[in-house]
Amino acid sequence: MSTLVTPFTDKRMAEIVEKVQNGVRLSVEDGVYLYQTDDLLTLGQLANEANLRKNGKKVYFIENMSLYFTNVCEAHCAFCNFRKDQGEEGSYTLSGEEMIDYVEQHIHPGVREFHIVGGHNNHVPFQYYVDSLRALNEKYPDVTLKAYTAAEIDFFTRISGLSIKEVLQELQKAGLKSLTGGGAEILSDEYRKKMRVDKANVDRYLEVHRTAHLLGMRTHTTMLYGSIESYEDRVNHMVQIRELQDETNGFMVFIPLSMQPKSKNASIMRRNSAYEDLKTIAISRLMLDNIDHIKAYFINIGPQLTQVALGFGASDAHGTIVRERISHAAGALTPEGLTRKELIWLIKGAGRIPVERDTFYNEIQVYE
């Protein structure tokens, strides 16, 4: 396979093309350059080539359902419009039984995964979070529990007095099978201070995933981009994930999350451009050479751009979701979920092969 470099490609891009084609790992400087270049087509072709080497034309999706037990949160992250204070209008904390009632009303046949995240609610004990998983696991034993961010796990250690390992082991006993990728934001403590990310710091985020991997869990990881961070911050974030993957090989997928404004009425100038979104997906594919999948998250970038992203290095189109709330509590203008038929149509429309998967990327059905 040979990337078609445009005649106007400069020497620096040509050097990166040669690195990628020869399997040489890209440096931080390479990643920053790729953000600075306006040669989007060569970048996209490179990322597409790297993805085709790993995954061929297969693009994965899952029948899943997003659940949110509570939106009460002690943190006040500058970018979040989902959180509420205890007692504030619109705040809620559901019991296991109440969540099961919600699931019964909204679940559809074929759901294989519950994606569970929520607020850092310090008005309930750690046992509440354990019991929440246990209730779902007992009612739906065939649905995989992918639950809690690394930041939530760190929060649980503080309210329980347990270590990271002990918290994870208690949750595993209740049915936890994998961690979600959220809470990473940008892995820079300076960024976290400026954006009031008053939850797990960089070291704790990475340590939670390291511990989960050592306990046999395979997990997901993210990057929330498009606010105050620099290109160097984004690339350094990817490098830290890459280094942990070198150590543990526990990440299944990297998910670039495009920052949403706080209002649906926000102007176009308050949103990431499609150009920036495609660049970030492509650069993620090239920098993270040791992670199998890059996800195009249609909740944040929309179904049509997700379709284009499948030619820019993405090999995962996420899942059905049913009803997403966190991005839509901000300014996301996208659907709250898609059906299996819509996901298959989206993937086939990009000239790719849709593959329904489980949480761990085991193939359930290939739609040739």
CB 151 within 8 A of CB 118: no
Binding site annotation covers 77? yes
Binding site annotation covers 324? no
Binding site annotation covers 73? yes
Backbone angle region of 87, left / alpha / beta, with phi > 0 → left and psi within -120 to 50 → alpha = left
* Token duo for residue 125: 């004990």
Binding site annotation covers 80? yes
Residues 6+ apart with CB under 8 A from 249: 213, 290
First to last CA, the chain: 23
Q: Using only the alpha carbons of the chain, give its radius of gyration.
A: 20
Binding site annotation covers 79? yes
Environment class of 161 (CB within 10 Å of its CB; exposed 0-12, middle 13-18, buried 19+):
exposed
CA torsion angle 31 35 40 43 (round to 10): 10
Buried/exposed code over 285-322 (b: 16+ C-beta within 10 A; e: otherwise):
bbbbbebbbbbbbbbbbbbebbbbbbbbbbbbbbbbbb
CB 64 within 8 A of CB 319: yes
* Token duo for residue 112: 């294989």
CB 357 within 8 A of CB 319: no
* Token duo for residue 31: 């990643």
CA distance linking residue 343 with residue 54, whole number of Å: 21
Beta bridge pairs of residue 225: 258
Binding-site annotation: residue ranges for [4Fe-4S] cluster: 73, 77, 80
Binding-site annotation: residue ranges: 73, 77, 79-80, 185, 196
Binding-site annotation: residue ranges for S-adenosyl-L-methionine: 79, 185, 196
